[in-house]
Copies of this chain bind each other. A is one copy, B any other.
């Protein structure tokens, strides 16, 4: 995997920053992972992403659809059934998310205060 382009050309740098924005978007990783783990319906995705609210989840699903990471399918059943599927672009993002998560797990220490906050939440 070459890393050279990132340094030498401005357009690659802009692409990189757009990617970081997407990756850093709240719930992007957990939602994508849930969908890739065969959870395609709203209720199933919600169950797989602990802590996400019914305000936040529809908003994030729309955003991920707008970014081309998820595809929303309306199945012509009665009543209609809505499913979310990862696009090729969305699936391809997982290794990058996993690499960032792995580094974070190894190297980022949380201060006692914020760890406390998380555990009691």
Contacts and interface: CB of A to CB of B under 8 A. Distances in A.
Interface of A: 1-3, 5-21, 23-24, 29-30, 33-34, 48-51, 89, 92-108, 110, 114-115, 118-119, 121
Contacts of A11: 110, 115, 118-119
Contact of A29 (B7, B102, B108, B110): B7
Given A11-B118, A19-B108, 16 more contacts: A5-B101, A6-B29, A6-B30, A6-B98, A6-B101, A7-B29, A10-B119, A14-B110, A17-B24, A18-B108, A18-B110, A20-B24, A21-B24, A23-B100, A92-B106, A96-B99
A101 B23 contact: no
Contacts of A97: 3, 6
Question: Copy number in this complex?
Answer: 2
For the complex of A and B, the 5 pairs showing the least CB-CB separation, nearest first, are A19-B104, A10-B118, A20-B24, A99-B99, A15-B104
Contact of A104 (B18, B104, B105): B18
B8 A50 contact: yes
A31 to B, nearest CB: 9
A97 B99 CA distance: 8
